[in-house]
Structure 1
Amino acid sequence: MTSDADPTQSYTAEGVADEHGRLVDIRIHQSGKTQHIAGRYGDSQDAAILRPWREARARGERVLPVFLGAGLGGAVRTLLQETDDDERPLPLAVVDKESPILAVTGLRDELSEASPDRVLFLDDSDPNIALAAITRWQMQNGGLPLMPLAHPFYLRLDRSYYQPLRSSLAASGEADFWSRTRYPKFRSSPPRVLLITSQYFLMGEIEAACKRLGVPHRFVAILDDEIGSHEFVEQLLTAVVEFKPDFVFTINHLGVDREGVLMELLDRLKLPLASWFVDNPHLILYLYEKVVSTRAAIFTWDADNIATLRDLGFDQVHYLPLATDPHRFQPPRQTPAPVADVAFVGNSMVFKVGHRMRVAKPPKPLLVRYRSLAAEFGEHEERSVRRFLELEHPDLVPHFEALDTMERRLAFEAMITWEATRQYRLACLQGVMGLNPLIAGDRGWRITLRHDPRPWRYHHELSYYADLPGFYPSVTVNFNATSKQMKGAVNQRVFDAPAAGAFVLTDWRAQMDQLFEPGAEVIAYHSPDEATELAQRYLRDEPARRTVIAAARQRILAHHTYDIRVGELLEIMRQSFG
């Protein structure tokens, strides 16, 4: 939900008093026109605003009133007076961002002094933030239905702000979601899964695996700019009521808002969350302050993250490495035309580093040393840039802490991580640059290798779904250099290429030996010089390549498919929350 309102308030407000000095109206001057908030109908207007609440009160219903626009404050004061003697007087909320009007009425200061414990006053110009605060307030007050009491003038003053809020709040009062979501979990086999879908490529594999395994599932779609929005929350609640899932599944915490509304909502619903991190959680959870929940199970593709995730307060943390979809990555029926003897597919990180640098705007002491810091961080055992600075460069920590927003600090950590990856990939590629490699990726490679006199070929970025399944088998040696966001884990290519019947030469990772038999199912180099030797050897020895490919594919089909990973995740969720 977005608002087109001008945050600077493109109007002026002028109070109108009667002969006794009592405020009876406010004139709004906007774009050469004058409007009246109350006019001749102030008293009847307040009565009309309060009518739905009074009718609900007469029926004995307990609802949480939410005023959308306070006007002169008459309706708000009346409601407080009429409920002041109740045995359990309910609180009320006021959403009013109109600072020129509030300056005339003085209502906010009046309410903060007279009824600080009963009135929640919200004035954020972002309606999503206001809605998130109301949702938390609702849950703190027993999840009672919300009743929007909208001032008609405010609906005209800023329709794009107040009207969607009224619709969202009205929808929450039409059904008692809480009672309808109290159903037993994990009574069926396999469990029922609510998938929070996004543009992330891996969700397609999860969906396909659920279908093949016969796992009942349903989707709640989300775009990046809808996180925490009222549309997403409404979709989620509807799906819970209608589908009755056993747990919610997401990737990289997508759908989990920073304010913690979703986590609080899932706690209220007694609905567990499974979040599978397939990117560095240190570059994701940094943004979240309220992410810990006893109903959240965290899965990570990198075993090195388990300890730090538990340090954050998560009780349920599990290692779940990447895998492949052998229905997508499978050997071609016919031998493909050769594309290259040696090829590397990956991002140069040039533009990613530049983008994070523009967001972080690091001060000079950090900026002038970022390349050397990245090189050192790339070789360090620490996975978090912040902790790396604390351990090795405490003199730079105050400059890092001086980055005044979480976004800037996160951007700096990502900048160092991506720069470490840029340097590392370039160093690894030195091992095959003498073999005229084909490099597929972004245009940053032209910048990175512009001074290298050795011949190499450039190919534009390849689509994971449309291009890579056919590309890998057309290359004799698929060269791999893992990102420094995962210093011990293996990446997707180590699973995908052999599944497609292709040979891959990869950099050695500490967790690799748990997944493959070294030298038989995976061929790994420890240095650029060793990469040169191994690439030349396997370019010459086709029988050896085929033997490795066959052994790797057999291991992958038996242990490393997404069907297997989904099955493991389902069983862990059942054992943890069933």
Structure 2
Amino acid sequence: MQRPQRIRIKNESGKLQSLPDGKEYFQELGGSGDILFLGIGPNPDLLTEFFPDESYYYYIECPEYEKQIPSLLALPAKFKKIQSYDATFFNKNSFRLILYTPNKRLFPSFWEPITSKLTLNKTEICSKIQSKSVWIPGNDHSLLVPEISKAFARADFTYRVIAPDAMRRNMLSLLKQELPEIVFSINFNGLDNSGETFFLLREAGVKVVVWMVDNPFHVISGIKSAYWKEVPMLITDDWFIKPLRKLGATKIGHLPLATDPDIFNPNVPLYPGLDNRIVFAGRSSFPKKVKFFAGCEFSSKDERDAVYAINSGIKPNFEWWINRDDITSFWPEPNVRSSGFRAEQTGTIWRTETLKFAGSNLTVFGDEGWRELLPDVDLRKPIDYYTVLPAVYTNSAIVLNMTSPLLPNGLTQRNFDVWAAGGFLLTDQTPGLSIFPEELVKECSFSTPSELPELCDKYLADPQRRIELSKKWREVILKDHTYQNRIRNILNFIN
């Protein structure tokens, strides 16, 4: 016997999705009294069979859903529609709430705020006194969590680092323990793909802000709900502001990386043997790269095009690749990730070519992947960021920085940490350097790998000039570019 064909509609991401219609897809959310359906499914006639003893069937429905289901245009008189913007029903406790569960995948940006309000109305959370605290999803070893935690503490906040899975699973329990002022997420860490966590926090009066420290389109490519557009976002690379706004992001600002001078300062132990060495410390590629870019390709023609551009004095960054690949839509289509992969592969070429021009004085602290890329290099084991790296920066003659092409206007931690540690940095040019004094940038930057030998020779021969520039740079960094500075920017942004 052939199974009946299910109705299919386009969800909020524009993807076709089937609509199941069994009773098991209607979830009781509690309450008593008249039924209030949060979505009535594709076949309203079945509801009278599933719930036969009701005088009326009150319901809320998503307008985008209604447009695609003709049977909702002429419902029996027993069905009474309540508008989602009618505030009175949110405070009514005499409804028995029943959710059509596929709604959370179909149109989460419509349903999650509604279910969040109804869920919170059954608790005392919104009446709690808000504490001057910040929750940070992650752990003590997560990217930037230690620095941000400490900076918030110095701004008189208490902070709590919460495992991302616990944030997503146990949000109501966490809010019953404490009502924080801020949840600060890095790269949407701790927030779920449908927006449930975000809307619960927002309805509870918690200010949520996400700091995008990687390519934002790589982060949101895994989010299938449009809710991310409502999340206040800060990004390290201001190139992305315009395309994110074009996609519908409602609140977005620029927040560059910074440094923690308690970690990076000249008062570190001696690291011997680097007095005349040019140093690069970094990975040959980022962890889980193959899994992240599964299905993406970097052809021999892509490689030739990238090398030709570099030899022509052009850095083939993310912007270059999306133009070359004719990418016009950044979300929800995944095509942008393919261009991102090509930019990432270009980054390997860019770093390798630059390091080849660094000469025989080069020392690389990194993984074994560098053996294949630079067979003759003085390669040393990776070093700990918080303990050994500051000493390497302080004691090296010159530290090199090559910015990832994934961030067209981006910077790296080296642009801040090396100077804070009293070291000397030569960096590739990027528009992101405009946050620093132009005269200092001009002295310590290069546009193409071929410029590097002359620049290195110049400063290796003039240690006094290196000391003078390092002092000036350190003053700039400590004045304007610590994580304590960034916390002030964050608080101004969300208030």
Match of 1:319 in 2: 254
Question: Deviations for 1:396-432, whole angstroms, at most 9, x for unmatched residues?
Answer: x9xx99xxx966x465333212111011111211221
- Residue pair 2:37, 2:58 contacting (<8 A) in 1 also: no
Q: Report the residue type matching 1:478 in the other structure.
A: V
Structure 1 residue 337: deviation in Å? Answer: 1.9
In structure 2, the residue matched to 1:556 is: 477
- Contact kept in structure 1, 2:261 and 2:421, CA below 8 Å: yes
Cα deviation, 1:244-292, whole Å, max 9, x if unaligned, reads 2233211112223222333443443344321111111122122223344
Asked if the contact 1:251/1:276 (under 8 Å) is kept, the reply is yes
- Encode CA deviations 1:118-139: one digit per residue, 9 max, x unaligned: 976669xxxxx98999998675
Match of 2:428 among 480, 483, 507: 507
* Of 234, 237, 259, the match for 2:194: 259
* Cα distance, 1:236 vs structure 2: 2.6
1:297-446 matched pairs, under 5 angstroms: 297-332=232-267, 335-339=270-274, 341-349=277-285, 354-355=290-291, 359-360=294-295, 362=297, 367-372=299-304, 374-375=306-307, 379-380=315-316, 383=319, 385-390=321-326, 409=335, 411-432=337-358, 434-446=359-371
- CA, structure 1 residues 56+437, in 2 after alignment: closer, same or farther (shift >3 Å)? closer
Q: What is the 5 A alignment of 1:177-192?
A: 177=123, 180-181=125-126, 192=133
1:312 CA displacement: 1.8
The Cα shift of 1:373 comes to 5.2
Structure number with the higher helix fraction is 1
Tell me if 1:221 matches 2:156. Answer: no
Task: Report the CA distance shift for 1:353/1:385 in structure 2 as closer, same or farther (over 3 A).
Answer: farther
Higher relative contact order (CA 8 A, sep 6+): 2
Structure 1 contact 342–477 (Cα < 8 Å) conserved: yes
Farther-moved stretch of structure 1 (191-200 vs 368-377): 368-377
- Is residue 237 of structure 1 aligned with residue 172 of structure 2? yes
Deviation digits for residues 459-480 of structure 1, max 9, x if unmatched? 1222222321222122111111
**Cα displacement string for residues 529-570 of structure 1 (whole angstroms, at most 9, x for unaligned residues):** 321112112122221111111111111111000011011111
Tell me if the contact between 1:258 and 1:288 (Cα under 8 Å) persists in the aligned partners: yes
Residue in 2 that maps onto 1:537: 458
In 1: Cα distance, 2:284 partner to 2:422 partner: 26
- CA distance in structure 1 between the partners assigned to 2:407 and 2:340 by the alignment: 13
Query: Which residue in 1 is equivalent to 2:52?
Result: 81
Q: Residues of 2 paired with 1:559 and 1:521: CA distance?
A: 19
Return the alpha-carbon distance in structure 2 between the equivalents of residues 246 and 89 of structure 1.
34
Code of the aligned partner of 1:420: T
Q: Which residue of 2 aligns with 1:210?
A: 152
Deviation at 1:204, TM superposition (A): 1.1
TM-fit CA distance, 1:368: 4.6
Q: Structure 1 residues 192 and 56 mapped into 2: Cα distance closer, same or farther (>3 Å)? A: closer
Amino acid at match of 1:501: G
Distance 1:372 1:260, change over 3 A: farther
2:125 and 2:392 mapped to 1: Cα distance?
50
TM-score, normalising length: structure 2: 0.73
Q: 3-state DSSP class of the match of 1:458?
A: strand
TM-score, normalised by the number of residues in structure 1: 0.63
Aligned pair in 2 of structure 1 residues 77, 473: CA closer, same or farther (>3 Å)?
A: same
Determine which of 385, 395, 408 is the counterpart of 1:464. 385
Q: Superposition RMSD on alpha carbons, in Å?
A: 4.2
1:272–1:420 Cα change, 3 Å: same
Equivalent position SS for 1:548: helix
CA distance, structure 1, for counterparts of residue 133 and residue 230 of structure 2: 16
Q: Which has the larger radius of gyration?
A: 1
Cα offset, 1:386, TM superposition: 4.4
Q: Runs of 5+ in structure 2 lacking a partner?
A: 1-27, 39-46, 62-74, 82-96
CA 1:351–1:294: 2 relative to 1, 3 Å: closer
Once residues 127 and 442 of structure 2 are traced to their aligned partners in structure 1, the CA distance between those partners, rounded to angstroms, is 49
Q: Distance in 2 between matches of 1:328 and 1:274?
A: 25
Give 3-state SS (helix, strand or coil) of 1:339's partner: coil
Would the alpha carbon gap of residues 522 and 559 (structure 1) be closer, same or farther in structure 2, given more than 3 Å must change? farther
CA contact (8 A) 2:278 2:362 kept: yes
Write the mapping of 1:65-104 to structure 2, written as runs, cut at 5 A.
80-82=51-53, 84-86=54-56, 88=58
Partner in structure 2 of residue 193 of structure 1: 134
C-alpha contact (below 8 Å) 1:356/1:415 kept by paired residues: no
Which residue matches 1:278? 213
Match of 1:176 among 122, 145, 168: 122
Q: Between Structure 1 and Structure 2, how many residues are aligned?
A: 427
Q: What corresponds to 2:86 in structure 1? A: none
Find the aligned partners of 1:354 and 1:556 in 2 and give their Cα distance. 36
Name the CA distance, whole Å, in 2 between partners of 1:241 and 1:290.
27
Shift of 1:499: 0.9
Where does structure 1 lack aligned partners over 5 or more consecutive residues? 1-52, 66-75, 92-112, 124-128, 146-171
Q: Residue 260 of structure 1 contacts residue 289 of structure 1 at CA under 8 Å; is this kept in 2?
A: no
Maintained 8 Å contact 2:234/2:253: yes
Cα distance in 2 for partners of 1:536, 1:310 equals 44
The change in CA–CA distance for 1:550 and 1:244 in structure 2 (over 3 A counts) is: same
CA distance in 2, matches of 1:137, 1:197: 27
Q: Percent identity?
A: 23
Distance 2:180 2:438 in 1: 39
How many angstroms apart in 1 are the aligned matches of 2:322 and 2:448?
28
Secondary structure at the counterpart of residue 217 of structure 1: strand
The equivalent of 2:17 in structure 1 is none
CA distance in 2, matches of 1:138, 1:508: 44
Equivalent residue letter for 1:202 = L
C-alpha offsets along residues 141-197 of structure 1, whole Å, 9 cap, x if unaligned? Answer: 68546xxxxxxxxxxxxxxxxxxxxxxxxxx9xx823x5226798xx8xx5423222
- Aligned residue identity for 1:213: A
Tell me the equivalent position of 1:475: 396
